[in-house]
Amino acid sequence: MDSNDQETDVARDRSQLNILEQNRRSLLRKRALAEKLRKHNVKATQRSSEPEEMEKAEERYTREMAETDADLERTEDKIRRIRFRMEKTAGRILLVDDEKNIRLTVSRALAPLEMPVETAADGEEALRKLEENGFSMLLLDLKMPGIDGMTVLEEVRRRWPNLLVVILTAYGSIDIAVDAMKMGAADFIQKPFSPQDIRDLVKTVFERGPMEKEL
């Protein structure tokens, strides 16, 4: 795909994303209005002492909310898919490790992939950069001072569920890495690793994409 085709795809994704986000806001307003009407109907039927009418109103509310929630879930799923596709096109990687030499070594190792790599020295800086910029992948060390890697991973899974996460784990910490994968990390690599090892893993995880359950 040449640069013009890529720019066209990005523009189309942005347009679709804007439409979907407008639809999402509309569904949320519809949901809030339905809840407001439900409260009004409950009060009205209680005053009129007509339990059958109250039951009908509750059934109607339940049906409408189920339909709205289903539409909302489908819309949010489409939004997640488009955002992931846009981030993957950008190919931005955030590397989080408190060891400066690891940050330098991994950044140099990934240079041949021609993917922009930003670094963070701790969990707090990582979350701030994730908030400010879109990334396709997070290379995350677990043992860090302050906000540790597992806490960062929990926050990532909650706020950026399609972000690909690769755990950088020290020797003897395989159990922790396995726990991280149960929480949604895509893969892990054990230190020390070679430049070729980390390049191969990054390419493999990108090709796999987000886990099916997240999509």
Model confidence pLDDT, tens digit, residues 4-53: 454 566 677 778 888 998 998 999 998 888 888 877 776 766 666 666 77
Spatial separation of the C-alpha atoms in residues 173 and 150, rounded to whole Å: 13
How would you classify the pairing of strands 93-96 and 187-190? unpaired
Spatial separation of the C-alpha atoms in residues 128 and 130, rounded to whole Å: 5
Is the pLDDT score of 116 beyond 60? yes
The 10s digit of each residue's pLDDT in 132-156 is: 887 889 999 998 888 999 999 999 9
Percent of the chain residues topping a pLDDT of 70: 82
pLDDT score recorded for residue 1:
41
Is the pLDDT score of 197 beyond 70? yes
Q: Which string of b and e fits 76-92 if b means at least 16 CB within 10 Å?
A: eebbbbbbbbbbbeebb
Spatial separation of the C-alpha atoms in residues 88 and 82, rounded to whole Å: 10
More confident residue, 101 or 61: 101
pLDDT score recorded for residue 38:
78
> pLDDT category, 105, cuts 50, 70, 90?
very high
